[in-house]
Amino acid sequence: MKDHIELGKAGEAIAVAHLEGKGYRILERNWRFGKEEIDIIARDGNFVVIVEVKTRTSNARAEPEASVTKSKQRILVRAANAYVNYKRQYGEVRFDIISILVKQEGETINHIVDAFYATLP
Protein backbone atom coordinates (compact mmCIF):
# COMPACT_ATOMS: atom_id res chain seq x y z
CA MET A 1 0.00 0.00 0.00
CA LYS A 2 1.28 3.47 -0.87
CA ASP A 3 1.94 5.96 1.87
CA HIS A 4 -0.18 9.11 2.14
CA ILE A 5 2.14 11.36 0.10
CA GLU A 6 2.70 8.80 -2.66
CA LEU A 7 -1.04 8.14 -2.85
CA GLY A 8 -1.72 11.88 -3.18
CA LYS A 9 0.86 12.28 -5.95
CA ALA A 10 -0.53 9.27 -7.79
CA GLY A 11 -4.05 10.70 -7.47
CA GLU A 12 -2.95 14.04 -8.88
CA ALA A 13 -1.31 12.31 -11.85
CA ILE A 14 -4.55 10.39 -12.49
CA ALA A 15 -6.53 13.64 -12.22
CA VAL A 16 -4.23 15.43 -14.69
CA ALA A 17 -4.60 12.59 -17.21
CA HIS A 18 -8.37 12.69 -16.73
CA LEU A 19 -8.53 16.45 -17.30
CA GLU A 20 -6.24 16.36 -20.32
CA GLY A 21 -8.37 13.57 -21.77
CA LYS A 22 -11.37 15.91 -21.51
CA GLY A 23 -9.50 18.69 -23.33
CA TYR A 24 -8.49 20.81 -20.34
CA ARG A 25 -5.16 22.64 -20.55
CA ILE A 26 -3.13 22.28 -17.36
CA LEU A 27 -1.71 25.64 -16.26
CA GLU A 28 -0.19 24.73 -12.88
CA ARG A 29 0.29 21.83 -10.51
CA ASN A 30 0.75 22.31 -6.76
CA TRP A 31 0.64 26.10 -7.01
CA ARG A 32 1.44 27.71 -3.67
CA PHE A 33 0.29 30.94 -2.10
CA GLY A 34 2.01 31.20 1.26
CA LYS A 35 1.08 28.04 3.12
CA GLU A 36 -1.93 27.39 0.88
CA GLU A 37 -1.79 25.14 -2.16
CA ILE A 38 -3.97 24.47 -5.18
CA ASP A 39 -3.54 20.94 -6.50
CA ILE A 40 -4.30 21.69 -10.17
CA ILE A 41 -5.13 24.85 -12.08
CA ALA A 42 -6.47 24.28 -15.57
CA ARG A 43 -8.15 26.11 -18.40
CA ASP A 44 -11.48 24.80 -19.73
CA GLY A 45 -12.59 27.20 -22.46
CA ASN A 46 -13.12 30.57 -20.77
CA PHE A 47 -12.95 29.05 -17.28
CA VAL A 48 -9.96 29.04 -14.98
CA VAL A 49 -10.59 25.80 -13.11
CA ILE A 50 -9.28 25.33 -9.59
CA VAL A 51 -9.17 21.60 -8.90
CA GLU A 52 -8.91 19.98 -5.49
CA VAL A 53 -7.93 16.31 -5.73
CA LYS A 54 -8.86 13.86 -2.99
CA THR A 55 -7.50 10.34 -3.25
CA ARG A 56 -8.37 7.50 -0.89
CA THR A 57 -8.07 3.72 -0.80
CA SER A 58 -11.45 3.33 0.90
CA ASN A 59 -14.72 5.17 1.16
CA ALA A 60 -15.85 3.23 4.23
CA ARG A 61 -16.18 6.38 6.39
CA ALA A 62 -17.14 8.86 3.67
CA GLU A 63 -16.56 9.68 0.03
CA PRO A 64 -13.21 11.45 -0.54
CA GLU A 65 -14.88 14.70 -1.67
CA ALA A 66 -16.57 15.00 1.74
CA SER A 67 -13.20 16.09 3.16
CA VAL A 68 -13.37 19.38 1.21
CA THR A 69 -14.84 21.30 4.13
CA LYS A 70 -16.02 24.91 4.20
CA SER A 71 -12.67 25.81 5.73
CA LYS A 72 -10.78 24.16 2.86
CA GLN A 73 -13.09 25.89 0.38
CA ARG A 74 -12.23 29.29 1.87
CA ILE A 75 -8.52 28.47 1.57
CA LEU A 76 -8.97 27.53 -2.08
CA VAL A 77 -10.92 30.72 -2.80
CA ARG A 78 -8.18 32.89 -1.25
CA ALA A 79 -5.47 31.06 -3.18
CA ALA A 80 -7.49 31.26 -6.42
CA ASN A 81 -7.93 35.02 -5.99
CA ALA A 82 -4.18 35.37 -5.51
CA TYR A 83 -3.48 33.23 -8.57
CA VAL A 84 -5.76 35.08 -10.99
CA ASN A 85 -4.40 38.45 -9.78
CA TYR A 86 -0.73 37.38 -9.84
CA LYS A 87 -0.92 35.58 -13.20
CA ARG A 88 -3.46 38.03 -14.67
CA GLN A 89 -5.75 35.22 -15.74
CA TYR A 90 -9.01 36.25 -17.33
CA GLY A 91 -12.30 34.42 -17.40
CA GLU A 92 -14.64 32.96 -14.85
CA VAL A 93 -13.16 30.92 -12.02
CA ARG A 94 -14.71 27.55 -11.30
CA PHE A 95 -14.01 25.15 -8.44
CA ASP A 96 -14.02 21.42 -9.22
CA ILE A 97 -13.26 18.42 -7.04
CA ILE A 98 -11.82 15.22 -8.41
CA SER A 99 -12.39 12.33 -6.04
CA ILE A 100 -10.38 9.17 -6.68
CA LEU A 101 -10.75 5.77 -5.05
CA VAL A 102 -7.70 3.57 -5.63
CA LYS A 103 -8.26 -0.14 -5.14
CA GLN A 104 -6.53 -3.29 -6.36
CA GLU A 105 -9.04 -3.65 -9.19
CA GLY A 106 -8.38 -0.10 -10.42
CA GLU A 107 -9.34 3.52 -9.87
CA THR A 108 -12.76 5.14 -9.71
CA ILE A 109 -12.80 8.81 -10.68
CA ASN A 110 -15.60 11.19 -9.73
CA HIS A 111 -15.17 14.64 -11.32
CA ILE A 112 -17.50 17.12 -9.66
CA VAL A 113 -17.78 20.22 -11.84
CA ASP A 114 -18.78 23.44 -10.03
CA ALA A 115 -18.43 21.63 -6.70
CA PHE A 116 -18.79 24.85 -4.70
CA TYR A 117 -18.98 28.59 -5.20
CA ALA A 118 -16.52 31.28 -4.15
CA THR A 119 -17.85 32.74 -0.92
CA LEU A 120 -15.82 34.32 1.83
CA PRO A 121 -17.05 35.10 5.36
* Average pLDDT for 111-121: 84
Q: Which helix (H) or strand (E) holds 98?
A: strand 92-103
Q: What does DSSP say about strands 47-56 and 92-103: parallel, antiparallel, or unpaired?
A: parallel
pLDDT per position as a tens digit, 54-106:
988 877 676 778 778 899 999 999 999 999 999 988 889 999 999 998 888 88
Q: What is the pLDDT of residue 75?
A: 92
Q: What is the pLDDT of residue 121?
A: 53
What are the residues whose beta carbons fall under 8 Å from the beta carbon of 59, sequence distance 6 or more? 101
Partners of 98 in beta bridges? 53, 111
* Average pLDDT for 7-34: 95
pLDDT per position as a tens digit, 29-60:
999 999 999 999 999 999 999 999 998 887 76
Q: In whole angstroms, give the CA distance from residue 98 to residue 73.
A: 14
Q: What is the pLDDT of residue 60?
A: 61
Q: Do the beta carbons of residue 28 and residue 19 sit within 8 Å?
A: no
Q: What is the pLDDT of residue 2?
A: 54
Confidence of residue 6 (pLDDT cuts 50, 70, 90): confident
Q: What is the pLDDT of residue 1?
A: 46
Q: Which domains does the chain have, with CATH numbers?
A: 4-116 (3.40.1350.10)
Q: Is 92 exposed, middle or buried (0-12, 13-18, 19+ CB in 10 A)?
A: exposed
Q: In whole angstroms, give the CA distance from residue 96 to residue 78.
A: 15
pTM as predicted: 0.90
